[in-house]
Amino acid sequence: MFTGIVEEVARLISIEKKEGGCSLEIEARTVTEDVRIGDSISVSGVCLTVTSYNKQSFTVDVMEKTMEDTTMGTLEVDAPVNVERAVQAGGRFDGHIVTGHVDGVGQVTSREEKQNSTQFSITLPEKLTRYMIMKGSVAVDGTSLTIFAVEENEIKISIIPHTHKATKLHFYMKEMPLI
């Protein structure tokens, strides 16, 4: 279980294609401080299991189905990814409950820079829009956000300057897919 409070923007340093999926090696500093084999780490919103690690990076396996149902299959070497370690019992709980089980891929339909925020409109698969409510929570690329408007199959979110800097959301432009 995760909170959607991104700990760091890490970097994908290798992709090894395998039968039935792939292995991703991710360069990270913060999340590797106390990582162990078998730990769950949210990688851009997808709950993945650590299969190996060192002080600078960790490796996870991604099943073919996960690659098809998320944006994991479109990642390339050097891509930034949001990462977060699983919540520990008794620890602080910011954000909202995020399982890391992705329900669909949306698409940025607009991006607007405001004085103190960046606003995004995101089109969602029709099957998901019935779960979206104004002022409800949504995890976008593993980041806990509040929905400020819902219109048919589109939600609107806004990020503050801190979130802009602390996550990879600032990379998203119109027509880009996101989870």
Question: From the first residue on, what is the mean pLDDT of each consecutive set of 10 residues in the chain (179 residues)?
Answer: 95 97 98 96 97 98 95 95 91 81 93 95 93 95 96 95 93 83
CB atoms within 10 A of CB 123: 17
The per-residue pLDDT for 94 is 81
CA angle 48, 53, 58 (to 5 degrees): 45
Over the stretch 163-173, which tens digit does the pLDDT of each residue have?
999 999 988 88
Least Cα distance to 103 among 134, 135, 70 occurs for: 70
Distance of alpha carbon 165 from alpha carbon 143, whole angstroms:
12
Burial of 43 per CB tally in 10 Å (0-12, 13-18, 19+) = buried
Span(s) in the chain for CATH 2.40.30.20? 8-85, 106-178
- CATH 2.30.30.100 assigned to domain 106-178? The reply is no
Distance of alpha carbon 89 from alpha carbon 43, whole angstroms:
20
The per-residue pLDDT for 113 is 94
The per-residue pLDDT for 90 is 75
Q: Classify domain 8-85 at the CATH topology level.
A: Elongation Factor Tu (Ef-tu); domain 3 (2.40.30)
Does residue 94 sit in helix, strand or coil? coil
The per-residue pLDDT for 46 is 97
The per-residue pLDDT for 30 is 96
pTM: 0.93
